[in-house]
Structure 1
Amino acid sequence: MPDATPAHAPEGGVRRPAGGGGPRPSAHGRRWSAVRPAGPLLAAIALWAYAVRSTDVTTLDDFGLVTAVHPAFWAGLAVLTAGFWSTVRRSGRADAWPLAHVLGLLVMERATQALVYPTPLHAWAWKHDAVVDHLLTDGGLRSGAELGDMAAYDQWPGFFALQAAAVRSAGAENTLTLMSWWPLISSVLVLAPLVLVYRTFTQDRRLIWTGVWLFCAGNWVGQDYFSPQSLALVLHLAVIALVLRRFPGAGRHGPRQAVWTTVLITVMVPVVLSHQLTPVVLIASLGVLALTRRHRDRVPFLAAVALFAAWNLTASLPFLSAALPGMIASVGDIGANVETGYGTTPTGTGAVATSWAARGLSGAVLLLALLGAVRQRELRRRARPLLLLTAVPPLLIAVGDYGSEMVFRVLMFMLPGAAFFAAAALLPRTGPPSGTPPRPLPARFLRLPLPVLLATTFAFVPSYAGKDRIGYFPPAEVALVAGLVRSAPDGSLVVAPNRNHPLAYGDYWRLDHHWFLEEDRAVVDRILRQPARTLALGMRGRPGPGRSYLLFTQGQRADAEMNGHLTGAQWRRVERSVATSPFFDLVARNAAGSVYELDVAAVEEAVR
């Protein structure tokens, strides 16, 4: 007997179609379904906000933020990850919800440190602040003879000139606030070109957003800090996205293509002006794409080569002329290029555990990527350009060591493609492209991805923030070093065990800096036998009005102990020897360290 209820009338909150089909959700049900993803997202952010307010970083141990952060942080990560997968696996959801969850992940990953630490992290970020300060102070660039090892920063000034302009425009005195928030800013900037690259090869939103999530969770290398590399990576991906989407093949050089070529060159220029390594990766990547049938247009490759050559033969030629012999000698020496060397070996339970967490995270993403590329035949064919781009960075290991950081840079440049194919390993096989929406996920694919996403998301925290005892400099340490830099006369020498302290390059255009633990091991052993006397003899001879200072801070000690330079007992012996020596006078001290000035007269009297 037919249903007597009219097709347009509600019955129990459900409307039935006129043809007698199944029930359709009511307007209320549709509205609830549309906003339901907000629940886990808001709950996760609330847990995170509570964790940030309840975290104390005054006494960090060797596990860094991992043991310092409130447990609510971990609960928030779990809720956010579960909410993301619940949202992305439903084919009817709008892209806004996965994007909102990814932004939530970046906030929890990158903004936590900006909020719980009162000063910016990482000695390298402070170094780059010193370069910006130099541009603001001098108002121009200097030659290699004037700046020595720091000349490279003046000869690739793109990033620093941009930040100096931003500081002037904002009326600020320095980049310290920007330094704290730059990891979040640079990570958000990466999203747009990354999504464009992924959408070139698939319209499956599940694959796109799962790949983006794995990229954010696997990006522990730390390229996002206040550095030229962070901006160069964004622009590198932007160039790749433009070439993949707007340069599909040879023979298309009309007015519209001329416009896109102009845009492309505009994006390439700051890459070449800002960083030494990224243009090399970009040229290799564009060269590989130019060899494929789908992207045979050689204009992008030739443009990148021309810009790179023009800059290296003009502005950066003094630096390259001095560095070229060493660069040539390292080509092909793979063993030396991957060797980390003395003073970079994790020491202690926390440092070792976090290092293995990072290795495990990268290894898991790469293994998943291999699995995804093998089992997804159709996707492998369709996304072959991305597969080739992922294979380019490992070739860099044969080129040089890049200051013992080449392995990390290789992982960073591989990650966009690796994350995409890793996501493919967690999803059903992709068939030929069509206009029909993807099929619902089979039951086994509803169970598998969430544990993997949880594991990678949780592993990111120790990989990225597990060594915050090294990277964090409390306000007392900043004040101590800033006071030394301000008061030291021009031409002074600042000696420290290592460069892991704020303002390690402070006023480098008028002060000299030296780090004695970076000497050969034989020199370090000689210092350890007679610390005060050996250091004093090495620091004398400074022409006036310059003076010689010796600086000890807690950041230096954390680096020395956790990276295998010195044991805690050796550090205390050096400090005690200097503190009781007639060769050094204490000029400043607080809870974070001490500053000593060399007594030149006492040293000269002792050596007579």
Structure 2
Amino acid sequence: MADLPPAHPWYHSALWPALGLAGALALWAYAVRHTDVGKLDDFGLVTALHPTFWIALVVLTAGFWSTLAGPRRRHPAWAPAYVVGLLVVERATQAVLYPTPLYAWAWKHDAVIDHLLTSGRLQSADVLGDMAVYDQWPGFFAAQAALVRLLGVDSAAHFMAWWPLVSSLMLLLPLLLIYRTFTEDRRLVWTAVWLFCVGNWVGQDYFSPQSVAFALHLGVLAVVLRRYAAPRTSDPRAPDDRPRAAVWTVVLTLFVTAIVITHQLTPGMLVISLAALFLARRYRDKVPVVTTVALFLAWCLTAALPFLSATMPDMLRSVGDIGGNVETGYGATPTGTGAIVTSWVARLLSASVILLAALGVWRQPVLRHRAFPLLLLALAPLPMFAASSYGSEMIFRVLMFMLPGAAFFAAAALLPQVRTLTANELNPRTRGRRYVWLPLAALLAGTLAFVPSYSGKDRISYFPPAEVRLVQEVFDRAPDGSLVVAADRNYPLAYADYWRVDHYWFLDDAREHVERILASPAATLASDMSAVDPPARAYLVLSQGQYADSEMNGLLTKAQLDHIRAAVAASPLFERVAANDAGVAYVLKETAR
């Protein structure tokens, strides 16, 4: 008898996953085309998005879970396809919607790259002042300057809006290598990756050295976990692994070197993580931690020494001050319904992942034992709370470095108990509807919560083209040695030409001085700006981004900023030089000096 054809051809099992993914991306594309970001409120992108965007996330999440927990075995390529689809929806939406790159810090990094391209070399603090710190950790900026030249574009602003998607995709390979070190269960691996993607809301994926350093950090951990575990056999007939170990030591050294010359904080986090692994029985090889410490110290005692010498007293004073290190401080307090709600959603999202991770550690004793090094990596960043405030951002960085390990155990909490870590199917004894719907509900809640957590402050982060043109006009007319004054640094090009133009943000001053400006805006600002020597000029810029940041972070209200603007406009000490819908710029008259 001839062999019977399969009950279902191969394309039958691919039909529903393909339709789900294509349908979700089609809904997302429709939502993007019908979303207006012209007037963002205090909820950021959340209230501006077309309703089909949220439907797309629901379809995407349900389709992803069906590839892992469906009644039929799906092709293993569908889970990564859905994760990539998630990253496109999460990280590319802003790049498609906004005509200009987000984040004042991204524009600042573009200015650093422009400086490298203009000067052609690194410079010291006697030339650049505080901005010389970027020349002391130039890895990211030098690489991006080379990329700008290679692409033949004017600046990194041409592509940095897409960096969140690029940097997030860079994390997938090291994450997979780390997770597959401890399990072959694809449900656990890909659920952990999904939770990592939706839990990584802290915004360090933007155009920054941290985004690259974090990917390299995970790469180092992947190499150590997979290649530096203690051998489980002492058989003298085992093959000599020394040549292979030498190769991986070279790879490790290259990764660590790239981290050390790129970012200040990440090498410290890496040292703590590697030290924690060294304390585990299976990672007694000293090469990773010794190599990292040696390279880190070498850079700190040479290229980075000027910065560290100036900041070390403050850094030492903050050691042990956990309360001060996690305190947000003045100008970082969410103000208004939208800012407060989105801030709490973000906190609840991170808290949920951490609580699920704790539940996963408790529910899966076999996994807890086998993946103990990953549990150590999740806990290792916590001592950094006692080390420094890192500009009131330490809590966000600690959350980010904890997330790879936390997401793994959180995924374990969502999955039923399995007989072995290599199982790809549900244990028949634990198969049930609740093990399908409860994990799906948790994944969906996290996926939806990511949007306000990640995009809830887009009113602060987005600078319309008119604001870019306004600021660019000021710098185009500013002679060398000029001074550009603004309320705060939340506007595009805030650091443009910093090697030839000085910058001053009066909201960085003590509160007493801000009160003097509010009491007598024109006279106080004219006095602050009068020390500029001709032919240089002093400019005041008040723009949309500054208003948003000041209002939403509890600095000054719109009425107070309007008062300053009106007083300067009416003063004979100032002359308006540029204005449009996004702001206004004034120059201090020569007679006012």
TM-score by length of 2: 0.96
**What amino acid maps onto 2:566 in structure 1?**
R
Separation (CA, whole Å) in 2 of partners of 1:371 and 1:214: 15
Does residue 438 of structure 2 align to residue 448 of structure 1?
Answer: yes
Per-residue deviation at 1:437? 5.7
Does residue 277 of structure 2 align to residue 289 of structure 1?
Answer: yes
**What amino acid maps onto 1:93 in structure 2?**
R
Q: Who is 1:43 aligned against?
A: 23
Deviations 1:193-236 (A, max 9, x none): 00110001111100100000000001100010000000000000
The SS at the match of 1:513 is strand
2:524 to 509, 512, 534: 534
Separation (CA, whole Å) in 2 of partners of 1:124 and 1:95: 39
Q: Who is 1:56 aligned against?
A: 36
The SS at the match of 1:46 is helix
Separation (CA, whole Å) in 2 of partners of 1:50 and 1:423: 31
User: Aligned runs of 1:355-370 on 2, under 5 Å?
Assistant: 355-370=343-358
Q: Who is 1:198 aligned against?
A: 179
Deviations 1:532-587 (A, max 9, x none): 11111111121222111100100110000011111121111111111111111101
Separation (CA, whole Å) in 2 of partners of 1:362 and 1:496: 34
- CA distance 1:328–1:173, shift in 2 (3 Å): same
Does residue 452 of structure 2 align to residue 495 of structure 1?
Answer: no
Separation (CA, whole Å) in 2 of partners of 1:433 and 1:49: 38
User: Aligned runs of 1:141-540 on 2, under 5 Å?
Assistant: 141-249=122-230, 254-433=242-421, 439=427, 441-540=431-530
Per-residue deviation at 1:27? 4.8
Runs of 5+ in structure 1 lacking a partner? 1-5, 16-24
Separation (CA, whole Å) in 2 of partners of 1:282 and 1:49: 39
Contact 1:248 1:295 in 2 (8 A): yes
Separation (CA, whole Å) in 2 of partners of 1:435 and 1:109: 30
**What amino acid maps onto 1:580 in structure 2?**
A
The SS at the match of 2:388 is coil
Q: Who is 2:48 aligned against?
A: 68
Separation (CA, whole Å) in 2 of partners of 1:76 and 1:164: 37
**What amino acid maps onto 1:87 in structure 2?**
T
TM-score by length of 1: 0.94
Contact 1:540 1:600 in 2 (8 A): no
Separation (CA, whole Å) in 2 of partners of 1:256 and 1:438: 38
The SS at the match of 2:101 is coil
The SS at the match of 2:472 is helix
The SS at the match of 1:66 is coil
Per-residue deviation at 1:267? 1.2
Per-residue deviation at 1:150? 0.8
Contact 1:378 1:430 in 2 (8 A): no
- Among all aligned residue pairs of Structure 1 and Structure 2, give the percentage whose two residues are the same amino acid: 61
Q: Who is 2:237 aligned against?
A: none
Per-residue deviation at 1:335? 1.2
**What amino acid maps onto 1:527 in structure 2?**
I
**What amino acid maps onto 2:398 in structure 1?**
V
Q: Who is 1:131 aligned against?
A: 112
Separation (CA, whole Å) in 2 of partners of 1:283 and 1:300: 9
Count residues with an aligned counterpart: 583
Per-residue deviation at 1:439? 3.0
Contact 1:51 1:72 in 2 (8 A): yes
Q: Who is 1:95 aligned against?
A: 76
Please identify, of 557-566 and 422-431, the stretch whose mean Cα deviation from structure 2 is larger.
Answer: 422-431
Contact 2:138 2:262 in 1 (8 A): yes
Deviations 1:112-169 (A, max 9, x none): 0000100000000000000000011111100122111111100000000000000101
Separation (CA, whole Å) in 2 of partners of 1:437 and 1:74: 30
Q: Who is 1:568 aligned against?
A: 558
Please identify, of 388-397 and 429-438, the stretch whose mean Cα deviation from structure 2 is larger.
Answer: 429-438
Runs of 5+ in structure 2 lacking a partner? 235-239
- CA distance 1:175–1:84, shift in 2 (3 Å): same
- CA distance 1:554–1:221, shift in 2 (3 Å): same
Per-residue deviation at 1:434? 5.3
**What amino acid maps onto 1:66 in structure 2?**
V
Per-residue deviation at 1:487? 1.5
Per-residue deviation at 1:435? 7.5
Separation (CA, whole Å) in 1 of partners of 2:548 and 2:508: 15
Deviations 1:502-545 (A, max 9, x none): 00000001110010011111111111111111111111121222
Separation (CA, whole Å) in 2 of partners of 1:181 and 1:153: 22
Q: Who is 1:20 aligned against?
A: none
2:534 to 539, 544, 550: 544
Separation (CA, whole Å) in 1 of partners of 2:251 and 2:172: 19
Per-residue deviation at 1:471? 0.4
- CA distance 1:124–1:436, shift in 2 (3 Å): closer
**What amino acid maps onto 1:117 in structure 2?**
Y
Contact 1:378 1:431 in 2 (8 A): no
Contact 2:88 2:165 in 1 (8 A): yes
- CA distance 1:307–1:194, shift in 2 (3 Å): same
Separation (CA, whole Å) in 2 of partners of 1:184 and 1:131: 22
The SS at the match of 1:281 is helix
**What amino acid maps onto 2:208 in structure 1?**
S
Larger Rg: 1
Per-residue deviation at 1:433? 4.3
**What amino acid maps onto 2:497 in structure 1?**
D
The SS at the match of 1:499 is coil
